[in-house]
Structure 1
Amino acid sequence: MSTQLYIRRIARRETNRSRALASIITAVALILVLLWLGTEAVLALTGNPALLVSPDQVGQWLAGLATATLPAGLIAAGIGLVLAGLFYLVLALRAGHRSRHVLASDRAAVVVDDEVIAAAVSRQARTASGLAPEQVSTTIGKRTVEVLIHPSSGNTADVAAADAAVRDEIDRYGLSAPPRIKVRTSTKGALGV
């Protein structure tokens, strides 16, 4: 296997959520239902009383469903199955993205948490605009970087310098999909520092 393919595989594994827990829960539930059905079938074949319901009773009940009015419990069970199906459909189709980004590297898979990137971007923005640490906040999304500057009341912040510093910092990371960068000033000022 090539090194680049191996690096991409590791990076993907680290940036996407595992669906193993949902798979395990589903498998255990199916195994329990199948064990119960198998036990009921064996008990019916050997002439012993059923644990809950014999296969003959289930067959008669299913045959009578076409003409009978549906009980509320059966309707509730059907709604529960539909909701479970929708849950699994959403789980299968969702990307399952963790709050991490992959930085450019030819030698290794470098995966960094979004909070680390946000702290570095905030530091660059506040250094460039001469603000205190609590006056700059950064939010990192999958494809966006939003920096919010809270200048001191009565003062203006150098948003252009902060924007340039943020763009330089993000460019240094070499992200595979460059995010949309938005640097803006808060309408509410901070107390003088």
Structure 2
Amino acid sequence: MKEDRTTKRLIRRETHSSRALPATVAAAVLTVVFLWLALESTLWLLKDKPLLAGPAQMLGWLKDLPATTVPAGLTAAGIGLGIVGLLLLGSGVGAGRRSRRALASDRSAVVVDDDVIAAAVSSTSRLAANLAPGQVTTTVGGRSVRVHVRPTSGVPLELETITTAVDGELAAYAPNRRLTSSVRVTNQGVVGQ
């Protein structure tokens, strides 16, 4: 049971990106601001010269800000702060998924990059349709696999054969999130391949 929990943790760690960098940057900026405010307050209490601006100066500046600033400037500053807040919220709450997925395995944790799955599906569909390597491209999305096939001019393709081969390949992997496939044969063919 403990091994299963460890395996799940390893898989999650490999398939999701860390939020350590944005959290560290935000914490460092806030720490610097609060330390500066504490230093200014301490200097003000000791009746010493302020480093940049004392608390009384900052309070006066905040009171005079609406009268001395153009309303468009205040609006732009508010929008800018709102965008920064939304970016921080999005980086903290967002899924943070990498383009990797876990595959079923009885012995170990197996994590495969989406590009590897796309290459394998392209190869399988290419062999099923008897095509050259450049005639099949595959993209793997969050829950879908899209295969684009460019047939050889004048040679008919069986869409069902390619679809069956792609679905069989995906079923063999048994990814942790189900992938649906779509195979599209383009109207424009390739000459001489």
Query: TM (normalized to structure 1)?
Result: 0.91
Moved more, 38-47 or 132-141: 38-47
Give the partner amino acid of 1:133. P
User: Following superposition of structure 1 onto structure 2, how do residues 73-152 of structure 1 map, counting pairs within 5 Å?
Assistant: 74-152=74-152
Q: Answer whether contact 1:4 1:106 (CA < 8 A) is retained.
A: no
Q: In the superposition, relative to structure 1, how do residues 79 and 49 fare at CA in structure 2: closer, same or farther (>3 Å)?
A: farther
Unmatched tracts of structure 1, length 5 or more: none
The separation in 1 between residues aligned to 2:94 and 2:83, in whole angstroms, is 16
Q: Answer whether contact 1:129 1:162 (CA < 8 A) is retained.
A: yes
Q: State, as a whole percentage, how many aligned pairs show the same letter.
A: 44
The separation in 1 between residues aligned to 2:68 and 2:121, in whole angstroms, is 60
Give the partner amino acid of 1:12. R
Deviation at 1:42, TM superposition (A): 1.8
CA RMSD of aligned residues (A): 1.7
Aligned length: 191
The separation in 1 between residues aligned to 2:46 and 2:75, in whole angstroms, is 33
Give the partner amino acid of 1:190. V
Is 1:185 matched with 2:189? Answer: no
In the TM superposition, what whole-angstrom CA distance separates every residue of 1:94-132 from its partner, at most 9, and x where no partner exists? 211111110001322100000101111111001011000
Give the partner amino acid of 1:99. S
Unmatched tracts of structure 2, length 5 or more: none
Deviation at 1:142, TM superposition (A): 1.4
The separation in 2 between residues aligned to 1:139 and 1:70, in whole angstroms, is 55
Query: TM (normalized to structure 2)?
Result: 0.91
The separation in 1 between residues aligned to 2:162 and 2:62, in whole angstroms, is 69
Deviation at 1:70, TM superposition (A): 6.0
